[in-house]
Structure 1
Amino acid sequence: MTRAWILPIVLVLCGSAAASGLFAQGSPGRATAFLVGFVLLGGVHSPLFFPKSIGALEAQRRSAVDGKPVVYWRAGCKYCVRLRFRLGRRARQAHWVDIWSDPAGAAAVREANDGNETVPTVFVAGRPYVNPGHAWVREQLSSSGR
């Protein structure tokens, strides 16, 4: 769990250090803007930005029942952030599994990607798709809505 927070914490700390330097130089407005920007960047790369993760086995069970895709992701992955951002509110309809907090999820991704933990990997009807386009994932969410 702590590994998912390393990048967001580093971003906030770096932003704080840079903002302190700007504030010391007499630019409190720029320092505030800089700090807010880094806090937002850290927030987007944190687990808070993603829908609540569930375990891989539970996600597979739910997907078998409702037909919705299972999205395997990890914090700090720019492709995962891009997919999440472009799906917008529809992202909450998919089942999200954080591979850094779920060993079974990481194993499923490694099995689908020749031993690599390449994310996002989206499973639809048990079949893996690596780094699919957001339009395709949105289409899968629409077709699974019963």
Structure 2
Amino acid sequence: MTSTPEIIMYTTPWCGFCRRLKSQLAREGVELTEVDIEQDPTAAETVMRLNGGNQTVPTVVFPDGTAMTNPPAAKILEKIAGN
């Protein structure tokens, strides 16, 4: 399963939840763009806006503009399948 257009996952290098989610989605064939909020101040602002001022990762943003914070892989798979 390949997602098109782009899914963005905001992360940090030290986030274990981010690494696990990225690995689970890769096993399912889900393509995404990973953005490190510690390296990109604009991305950090986006994450804070989506999470009530908190820099909570992983935050996943879908092409339709909706977002999920620290979601299980199954919820992302449901979303991109249209369920």
| Deviation digits for residues 42-83 of structure 1 (CA, Å, limit 9, x no counterpart) | xxxxxxxxxxxxxxxxxxxxxxxx433211111111110110
Q: Which runs of 5+ in 1 are unaligned?
A: 1-65
State the partner residue of 1:69.
7
Larger radius of gyration: 1
Q: Distance in 2 between matches of 1:97 and 1:139?
A: 22
Tell me the residue number matched to 2:40: 102
Measured after TM superposition, the shift of residue 87 of structure 1 is 1.7
Match of 1:133 in 2: 72
More helix by proportion, 1 or 2?
Answer: 1
**Root-mean-square deviation (Å):** 1.9
Give the structure with the higher percent strand: 2
TM-score, length-normalised on structure 2? 0.78
Q: How does 1:40-51 map to 2 (within 5 A)?
A: none
The alpha-carbon deviation at position 140 of structure 1 amounts to: 4.1
Q: Higher relative contact order at CA 8 Å, sep ≥6: structure 1 or structure 2?
A: 2
Query: Which residue type is aligned with residue 122 of structure 1?
Result: V
Unaligned runs of 5+ in 2: none
- Separation in 2 of the partners of 1:119 and 1:99? 9
Q: Which runs of 4+ in 1 moved over 6 A?
A: none
- Give the TM-score normalised by structure 1: 0.47
Query: What corresponds to 1:10 in structure 2?
Result: none
Q: What is the count of residue pairs matched by the alignment? A: 77
Percent identity over paired residues = 35
